[in-house]
Amino acid sequence: MPPALLDPDNVERARRAGDRGLCDHCLGRLFGKVETGLTNPQRSARLRAATGAGEVEPAACHVCEGLFGELDRLAAVAAEALAPFEFTRYLIGTKVDADVLAREQTLAAELGCENTEPANSELNREIGKRVAHLRPGIDVEFRDPEVTAVVDTRFDHVTLQHGGLFLYGRYRKFDRGIPQTVWPCRRCRGRGCETCGRTGKQYMTSVQELVQGPALEASGATQAAFHGAGREDIDARMLGSGRPFVLELKDPKVRSLDLAALVARVNQEASGRAEVDGLRFARKAEVQHVKEFHGRKTYRAHVQFDGPVAAETLNKAIAALRGRAIAQRTPSRVEHRRADLVRERVVQDVTVEGLRETAADLVIVGDAGLYIKELVSGDEGRTQPSLAGLLGVPARVRTLDVLDVQYEDAGAKGTPRGSPP
């Protein structure tokens, strides 16, 4: 436990430090971890009273050479850099001339001061307090600031590090011709070529673009990332309650978005292709929660058979699939972009909604990661067992819809602290 501030040894150290000529900030900071509840100038005042030393202006200070006389000006520089951005949680960081830090460390070592506060720490705090005074309604946040302003005290330059703005919601996709996220052109890999019309994209639009376009405009963000709880095939629709996602908006200028208006605009502009609902502000941690989703999914598959299939035969095959662990080697259609592994997934349930001689509508409930098309076709033996294998008749999925994505909403209990209402 540190000794009391006016311990005889500390008083003697303060007397010796005073001979060097230190301002109140630099003298007090030598004992900055002694006795809580005091500012460094207050510590300095008590020590000067005990030693009889006079005050020293920052401009004449041996350590900072005037730096701590510039606090108001540095705070104004930081506030000006922050002015275009809306935020409630912030943090101030500083870069300090290496000579200042070296003089401070050398003096502390010579005097035997073991409870010194670094100059950066006091600068961060004092500039941060002044920024808050210049811009009421904001709070310092150490763990999850919406923006961090790093003030380079040598050049009056401020670097802003923005925390993202995260929006959680669910989307439905009605267009069987668009993917969930942007796909770079296979030929030029996103650079732009004649094949993709110089867009760099394999598909003209995606759910991501339909959602992020209005969000980028409303927030003034520079970029966006789309994180979905899994993804459906491009030619599959996403229906029912929709698929959970988190939209990450990077470097936003505006955070108090009107989410109801944003939903209305997305749905209007994406009419007939996709829609969103349940949009709310989210925590950064929800990105990982969404990406690690392992819940069940429900599908409707319109299946075509190469020959007639009797109801009794179909029901027998379906009964053999219910509750069955399916071994699926990476499907041939995606093996070019996914590791060639054998994955085991369970078919929770299968029901028949309609049967014709050579076609059937099936509702299938399965673990996340279960490939439905391959469950039906067998993928030339890469999926075992399969519906086609059990029937002894080739079968394939003609159309596929996702009806439900089982998901535990990690942020349903409340809005993140400090986010807009």
Q: Show which residues are catalytic.
A: 233
- Helices and strands in the chain: count of H runs, count of E runs: 12, 14
How far apart (Å, rounded) are the C-alpha atoms in residues 57 and 403? 72
Residue with tokens 């929006």: 167
- Look at the alpha carbons of 31, 34, 40, 44 in this order and tell me if their dihedral is positive or negative: negative
Between vectors from CA 50 to CA 46 and to CA 53, what angle results, nearest 5°?
90
By C-alpha distance, which of 66, 17, 67 is closest to 44? 17
Distance CA 33, CA 114 (A): 9
Query: Residue 206's closest CA among 177, 246, 169?
Result: 177
Could you count the other beta carbons within 10 Å of the beta carbon of residue 103? 19
Q: How far, in Å, CA of 40 to CA of 130, rounded?
A: 16
- Measured over the CA atoms of residue 219, residue 223, residue 229 and residue 232, the dihedral's sign is positive
How far is it, in rounded angstroms, from Cα 51 to Cα 14? 7
- The helix (run of H) or strand (run of E) holding residue 45 is helix 40-51
Q: Which residue has the tokens 């520089």?
A: 77
Of the candidates 48, 55, 49, 47, the residue with the CA atom closest to the CA atom of residue 4? 47
* CA–CA dist 92, 106 (Å, integer): 26
For β-strands 147-152 and 89-95, DSSP reports them as parallel
Is residue 222 within 8 A of residue 251, CB to CB? The reply is: yes
Which residues on adjacent β-strands are paired with residue 147? 90, 162
Q: Which residues contact 139 (CB under 8 A, 6 or more apart)?
A: 88, 89, 90, 132, 418
* Nearest C-alpha neighbor of 246 from the set 174, 312, 170, 182: 170
CA atoms within 13 A on the CB side of 135: 22
Beta bridge partners of 364: 299, 350
